[in-house]
């Protein structure tokens, strides 16, 4: 028989024991007619040794023959120290004649045992505390069924009681212990931590207000804003230095101002810096990890989505609206501003309009055309998914039978017929339309009292001795004239006006008839 060193058995069922060691032993059964029993070591699963339904007596036989060690459980009266406490626990040493297994710091009890005597570790589950927590057992947690009040499920924070080391599970959450830390900002470097000094900032978080003392738990944390990043990992207890997140714009010196951001807040590395919507990479980085890429804003008539990682970036070419909308005639599309980021930003240029909307919805098949001669259109109509129902973006006829070049974009591009057809209309051209001339008042119209054809009527001459400025619309706009029509003002040596002096001289030349 091969002797087994440091073997322990735990009760696994009514008919057997689970073997925990790293060797195997074969021994002939002491019962007649029974086959020999092979004891195999635990690897990834527990092997069960079938002994008999008289398990207690069979156990005594195994102990008496030396196959089963006397230290077979988690609590016992033997004087020797335990060597078979469950993982995550250790022998606390003798107390009142007992050697007992207790949960180690950095571990927690996920489920308690099922043996009230403490002689069996069946059902006991001890785990490393997760990241973001620590366990420091102020009082020993003994592995007996009385430890059910110390059980924590490993996820529910409510089980942590007040959130300090006095909580029954002995587990504390970093976010709870550091009251000025924003939720979700703290963690630990690994699982299985055992002190408040193990709490550190998560990646993407930083110390915004220092702790009051070198051991205080009152440091304040904050999340890295958009366009910035911070590695995290700063010890929070007694944190003495206020941290400043790195700015993407400063990291990438060739990026133009305002061109970089991060996808979300709480980023932690230079590789998180990306181009903003409407910006692209105009000059590639020198290497795949270099920070020297150059950015540029999308020009008019193009767009770029942004979101490109700047570190080690390659050149991007903004997308041309003309290429996206294949039915648009050349030169008919633009964007309202530079820095556009979607096809939705593509609009008709001034002087162009949607001549065929195509299918409605998110479709790129609209057709464009140049404003015809004698019309004008401002442009600015969104091309994607256009519908031919917005008259404000359709060409408008020049008023008063006016003319304009194809592709005109404003009323001022029109030359109206104000006094060509009727030289006595009293109207004159102004800003692409007609208005009443100086000395007239009213509103010019065509023969149909409209503004479609040449100006014929609508302007009335001011009364004799009054006048008006061009564009006067009511008779009240006619005011007294300061001159007599056809005369110019001058003065004689005697101070009389020229017409009066001439009249007096003429009268003096006539002989007096007696």
Predicted confidence (pLDDT) per residue in 84-128, tens digit: 788 898 887 766 566 778 889 999 988 887 776 666 677 888 999
User: Which residue blocks in 32-167 are alpha helix, DSSP H?
Assistant: 55-65
How many angstroms separate the first and last alpha carbons of the chain? Answer: 182
Tell me the Cα Rg of the chain.
Answer: 48
Kindly report, residue by residue over 332-380, the tens digit of the pLDDT: 999 999 999 999 999 999 999 999 887 766 678 889 999 999 999 999 9
Pairwise CA distance, residues 336 & 41, whole Å: 76
Cβ contacts of 171-176, under 8 Å, gap ≥ 24? 171/108, 171/129, 171/133, 171/134, 171/135, 172/133, 172/134, 172/135, 172/136, 172/196, 173/132, 173/133, 174/132, 174/133, 174/134, 174/199, 174/236, 175/132
**Based on the number of CB atoms within 10 Å of its own CB, is 163 exposed (0-12), middle (13-18) or buried (19 or more)?**
middle
User: What distance in Å separates the CA atoms of residue 24 and residue 407, rounded to the nearest whole number?
Assistant: 96
Give 236-261 pLDDT, tens digit per residue. 999 999 999 999 999 999 999 999 99
Report which DSSP code applies to 410. S
For the range 425-434, what are the long-range contacts, defined as Cβ-Cβ under 8 Å and sequence gap of 24 or more? Answer: 425/454, 425/455, 425/456, 425/457, 425/459, 426/458, 426/459, 426/460, 426/461, 427/455, 427/458, 427/459, 428/470, 430/470, 430/471, 432/398, 432/399, 432/402, 433/399, 433/400, 433/402, 434/399, 434/400
Token duo for residue 337: 């501003």
Alpha carbons 115 and 142: distance in angstroms, whole number: 13
Check if the beta carbon of residue 381 is closer than 8 Å to that of residue 350.
Answer: no
The Cα–Cα gap between 492 and 500 comes to 9
Query: Rounded distance, CA 135 to CA 354, Å?
Result: 70
CATH fold for the domain made of 416-480: Tumor Necrosis Factor Receptor, subunit A; domain 2 (2.10.50)
Banded model confidence at residue 289, pLDDT cuts 50, 70, 90: very high
Give per-residue pLDDT as tens, 397-426.
999 999 999 999 999 999 999 999 999 999
Collapsed DSSP state (helix, strand, coil) of residue 197: helix
Domain with CATH 2.10.50 in the chain: 416-480
On the CB side of 184, CA atoms within 13 Å amount to 4
How confident is the model at residue 94, as a pLDDT? Answer: 67
pLDDT tens digits along 214-225: 999 999 999 999
CB-based contacts of 452, cutoff 8 Å, min separation 6: 397, 399, 400, 401, 446
pLDDT at 315: 98
Whether the per-residue pLDDT at 10 is higher than 90: the answer is: no
User: Tokens in use for 438?
Assistant: 């100086």
For residue range 149-189, list pLDDT tens digits in order: 788 888 877 656 544 444 678 888 998 899 999 999 999 99
Mean pLDDT of 313-342: 96
Length of the chain: 514
Q: What is the pLDDT of residue 278?
A: 98
3-state secondary structure of 466: strand
């Amino acid at each position: 028989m091969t002797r087994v060193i440091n073997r322990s058995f735990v009760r696994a069922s009514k008919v057997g024991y689970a073997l925990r060691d790293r060797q195997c032993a074969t021994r002939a059964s002491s019962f007649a007619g029974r086959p020999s029993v092979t004891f195999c070591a635990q690897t990834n699963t527990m092997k069960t040794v079938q002994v008999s339904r008289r398990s207690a007596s069979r156990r005594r036989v195994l102990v008496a023959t030396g196959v089963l060690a006397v230290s077979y459980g988690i609590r016992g009266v033997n004087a020797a120290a335990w060597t078979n406490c469950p993982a995550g626990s250790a022998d606390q040493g003798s107390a009142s004649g007992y050697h007992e297994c207790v949960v180690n710091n950095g571990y927690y009890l996920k489920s308690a045992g099922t043996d009230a005597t403490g002689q069996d570790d069946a059902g006991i589950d001890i785990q490393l505390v997760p990241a973001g927590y620590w366990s420091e057992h102020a009082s020993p947690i003994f592995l007996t069924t009385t430890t059910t009040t110390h059980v924590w499920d490993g996820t529910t924070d409510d089980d942590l009681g007040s959130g300090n080391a006095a909580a029954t599970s002995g587990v504390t959450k970093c976010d709870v212990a550091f009251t000025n830390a924003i939720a979700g900002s703290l963690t630990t470097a690994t699982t299985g931590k055992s002190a408040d000094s193990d709490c550190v900032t998560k990646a993407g978080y930083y110390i915004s207000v220092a702790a009051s003392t070198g051991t205080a738990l009152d440091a304040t944390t904050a999340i890295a804003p958009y366009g910035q990043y911070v590695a995290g990992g700063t010890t929070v207890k007694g944190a003495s230095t206020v941290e400043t997140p790195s700015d993407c714009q400063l990291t990438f010196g060739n990026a133009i101002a305002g061109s970089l951001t991060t996808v979300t807040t709480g980023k932690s590395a230079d590789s998180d810096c990306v181009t903003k919507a409407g910006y692209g990479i105009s000059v590639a980085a020198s290497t795949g990890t270099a920070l020297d890429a150059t950015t540029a804003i999308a020009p008019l008539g193009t767009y770029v989505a942004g979101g490109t990682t700047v570190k080690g970036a390659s050149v991007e070419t903004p997308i041309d609206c003309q290429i996206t909308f294949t039915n648009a005639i050349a030169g008919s599309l633009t964007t309202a501003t530079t820095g556009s980021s979607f096809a939705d930003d593509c609009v008709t240029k001034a002087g162009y309009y949607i001549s065929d909307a195509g299918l409605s919805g998110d479709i790129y098949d609209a057709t464009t055309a140049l404003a015809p001669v004698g019309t004008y259109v401002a442009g600015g109509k969104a091309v994607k998914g256009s519908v031919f129902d917005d008259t404000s973006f359709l060409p408008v006829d020049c008023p008063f039978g006016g003319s304009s070049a194809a592709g005109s974009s404003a009323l001022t591009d029109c030359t109206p017929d104000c006094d060509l057809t009727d030289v006595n209309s009293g109207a004159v051209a102004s800003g692409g339309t007609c208005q009443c001339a100086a000395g007239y008042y009213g509103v010019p119209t065509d023969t149909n009292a409209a503004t479609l054809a040449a100006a014929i009527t609508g302007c009335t001459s001011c009364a004799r001795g009054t006048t008006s400025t061009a564009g006067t619309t009511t008779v009240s706009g006619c005011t007294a004239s300061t001159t007599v029509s056809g005369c110019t003002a001058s003065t004689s040596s005697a101070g009389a006006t020229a017409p009066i002096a001439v009249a007096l001289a003429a009268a003096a030349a006539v002989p007096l008839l007696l």
